[in-house]
Amino acid sequence: MTATPGEIHLQLRNLKNFFRVPEVDPFEGETIDLSGIDQVMDALRVQKDWRTRRAKAVIWLPDGTDDDALVGQLPRALATYCNSQILYCRRKMLELRLEGHRALRIGAIFLAACLALSTVLDKWLGSDSLLGYLFGEGLLIAGWVGLWHPLELLLYSWWPYSSDIKLYEKIKGMEISVRHGAMPEQA
């Protein structure tokens, strides 16, 4: 799909498929169920230095495609699309942060309850008994496991959205050219 470093070639049936997923029709030769922008994102993700390297997209349309009026609107449409996706990703990150804070409060209360119950069972059954040890340690483990999901939300779940924001920023400033004909094999 990529001819030179940073250059991404796409074969699309029409220019609207740059933003919209084409209908998969193997009889017509359409076998990719990704929009052009999703293909660009996938191509950028596999390049190690996509953040620093200049990127360019070359869109190949079949001969006779009447998308010339849309070609001039492509940069503005791309900026509008990327800006809306960036806003969406930021909203999702905020939602994850809020959900993480709620889950952390619940997890902390659950941990405190487990610790308190473990202490009560330790006093009641005694720490020397197997049953007291088993329930005490089990409650301690359960309390810490209750924090697993909140910590996952706060520490890791937002990473894909952050990465997508950087990708959309990169794509928004990307040079795009439209050519007619079949995409060369080496591209």
* pLDDT tens profile 131-178: 888 888 899 999 999 999 999 999 999 999 999 999 999 999 999 998
Alpha carbons 150 and 156: distance in angstroms, whole number: 10
pLDDT digits (tens, 9 = 90+) for 119-129: 998 888 877 88
- DSSP, collapsed to helix, strand or coil, labels residue 180 as strand
Domain extents for the chain?
Answer: 5-178
92: number of Cβ within 10 Å? 16
pTM: 0.80
Q: In this structure, what are the phi and psi dihedrals at residue 185, rounded to the nearest 5 degrees?
A: -60, -40
Q: What is the pLDDT of residues 101-142, one digit of tens each?
A: 999 999 999 999 999 999 998 888 877 888 888 888 899 999
CB atoms closer than 10 angstroms to residue 69: 8
CA distance linking residue 5 with residue 15, whole number of Å: 23
